[in-house]
Amino acid sequence: MEAFGLLLHGFAVLLTWKTLAVMMVGLVLGIFVGVLPGLGGPNGVAILLPLTFTMDPTSAIVMLSCIYWGALFGGAITSILFNIPGEAWSVATTFDGYPMAQQGRAPEALTAAFTSSFIGSLAAVLLITFLAPGIAAFALQFGPPEFFAVYLLTFCSFVGLGREDKHKTIISMTLGLLLAGIGMDTVSGTLRMTFGWNELLRGINFLVAVIGLFGISEILLTMEERLALRGHTASISLGVVLRVWKDLPRYWVTLLRSSAIGCWLGITPGGAIAASFMGYNLAKRFSKDKDSFGKGRIEGVFAPETAAHASGTAALLPMLALGIPGSGTAAILLGGLMVWGLNPGPLLFVEHKDFVWGLIASMYLGNVVGLVLVLTTVPVFAAVLRVPFAAIAPMIVVSCAIGAYAIQNAMFDIWLMLLFGVVGYVFKKIGIPLAPFTLALVLGSRAEDAFRLAMIGAGGDLRVFWSNGLVGSITTLALILLFWPLLGPLCERAARLWRLPRGSRAA
Amino acid sequence: MRTGRTHIFLTQDQLRRVLQVFVPTLLFCLLTQWLGLYVASFLLIVGFMRLIGRIALWKSLLTAFLFAVIMFVTFDIAFDVIMPKGPLEAAFGY
């Protein structure tokens, strides 16, 4: 129960008027960016990051994580009222959420979405509270080979488990790794791929790339598709909230199943999107009345929302304990930690106890406050979507530019952001996923450092990655996952061949 | 440019709409270098709302002015995040 005591200490750090005010501001801003088309979780956090540069790390991370919660809640509003998923993982919420809104049951659907998000993230936060310190303590014994093996596992699981085309994932990841190599080499101190250009000395900043890749490209895409925003209005009364909550215990199996799926897939990198679909599909499969799904069934909102938020939150577990983000937004939070000079990973739990437990406590508080806030202010935020796009688009462009410039005070970064905007737009058009690209960009140099330190330590012998049971099994697992798209069908064929002669003999 | 046998990467109509937002953004980045970010953002918002959104001129001017001022107060004054500035801010002593 050491974790419990530390958690209480975390709450004590948090419960000051200043921190609570920061929390409210973060939540409101977060819901705002979650509702606006063209912004969303990862974007919102990236653009608002500069606001936190002058704060102390604890207030800053509280603000950032609350922006994240807010954006998650906000995404549900657009999915249900406007049939526009704010993020890839709210796609499954539109299946039943939007039909409910069409039937005039929008308040019910919204309450269900917010409540299940709350339950999902609570389950994941509980998991983080009790599991993260243990994992961090275990990881303290890791040397460079172990760390490289874990990074390799992260990269490979994107290829093996992602839903996108395998070759496109690999293209995207390789480009990210290549760009991560630009600038000063941290091991030998020599310059790489700068082509004599001073601006490239610093390397390509991960956050600048994210703002361009997600923010600017989304504006280009929204403009191209000429989104006509036609949504339903909704305001939530206390009666509706209580009615939905009274029915809640009836769906406990769905909620529990979705939370478990979400937690599991959230820790696995690249799993957040899969979680919401899997939650939805399993709820459908186990339901007695399958045909009513997709026509406005409240269970169809509960299942994907719980899973999506559980996975979105659980993605922070590997980020905190190992320094490996499980999702795009977790990667940006990691980028934020590095801006403040904090090095995410197992040492964080030892060296910055206050900070870590403050963050975990803020997850609990932010979640509760966010639920109340979002239930009471839905009409206000739904009205934001009625503002013409021609007014919102330039404001988003300006916010992106401010975000990109503020990170390193460099005009060059604004141009870089524009370039990445075009790259992101083309990638989205031809179906290359952006998440592996951002992950490679943020983890590339760390993975490279770990690899080279391991090589130096072992005198260039690759067998160091199989030198003990732990590192050996992680490396092997990583390689299996990387080649899984090839191995899977092969195993199937082998099994069939093996079964065939036996079957024929029996006949 | 084609990605599949029948899939068209971008129709002319779509290209026109994408350029409608890309060109102003490019001009905004250029202007930021000479006029500073706040003046450039004022011009971007007024121009975009008026010319592409066809929103009334006074509404565009008011929105752009308020947005630029709010951004200036939030970033440069309240949070000490310094943005590129040009002749106008210099005239006011910033």
What does the pLDDT look like over A16-28, one tens digit per residue?
888 888 888 888 8
Phi and psi dihedrals of B53, rounded to 5?
-85, -15
Model confidence pLDDT, tens digit, residues A408-457: 888 899 999 999 999 999 998 888 888 788 888 888 888 888 898 888 88
Output A229 or A258, whichever has higher pLDDT: A258
**Is residue A347 a contact partner of residue A135, using CB atoms and an 8 Å limit?**
no
Three-state secondary structure readout of A246-309 = HHHHHHHHHHHHHHHHHHHHHHCCCCHHHHHHHHHHHHHHHCCCHHHCCCCCCHHHHHHHHHHH
Exposure of A468 in the CB half-sphere (CA atoms within 13 A): 7
Q: Contacts of residue A388 in chain B, CB cutoff 8 Å?
A: 49, 53, 55
Query: Is A228 touching B (CB cutoff 8 A)?
Result: no
Output B42 or B76, whichever has higher pLDDT: B42
Measured CA to CA, the distance from residue A263 to residue A128 in angstroms comes to 10
Q: Which two tokens stand for residue B69?
A: 């001022």
Tell me B79's DSSP state: S
Q: Is B37 in Cβ contact with A54 (below 8 Å)?
A: no
pLDDT category of residue B1 using cuts at 50, 70 and 90: very low
Measured CA to CA, the distance from residue B85 to residue B92 in angstroms comes to 11
**Helix axis angle, A389-408 relative to A217-225, nearest 10°?**
170
Model confidence pLDDT, tens digit, residues B49-71: 888 888 889 989 999 999 999 88
Measured CA to CA, the distance from residue A243 to residue A474 in angstroms comes to 48
Tell me A487's DSSP state: H
Residues of chain B whose beta carbon is less than 8 angstroms from a beta carbon of chain A are: 3, 9-10, 14, 17-18, 20-22, 24-26, 28-29, 32-33, 37, 41, 44-45, 47-49, 52-55, 60, 63, 67, 71, 74-75, 79-84
Query: Is A430 touching B (CB cutoff 8 A)?
Result: yes
Q: Contacts of residue A425 in chain B, CB cutoff 8 Å?
A: 18
Mean pLDDT of A308-318: 84
ipTM of the complex: 0.90
Q: Is B18 in Cβ contact with A425 (below 8 Å)?
A: yes
Q: Of the candidates B33, B45, B60, which has its C-beta nearest A411's C-beta?
A: B33
Nearest CA in chain B to A421: B22
Rounded to a whole number, what is the distance in Å from the CA of A507 to chain B's nearest CA?
Answer: 47
**Helix axis angle, B37-47 relative to A389-408, nearest 10°?**
160
Q: Which two tokens stand for residue A29?
A: 């801003």
pLDDT at B41 over 80: yes
Model confidence pLDDT, tens digit, residues A170-183: 999 999 999 988 88
Q: Contacts of residue A415 in chain B, CB cutoff 8 Å?
A: 29
Q: Give me the sign of the Cα torsion angle A356, A359, A363, A369.
A: positive
**Is residue A270 a contact partner of residue A438, using CB atoms and an 8 Å limit?**
no
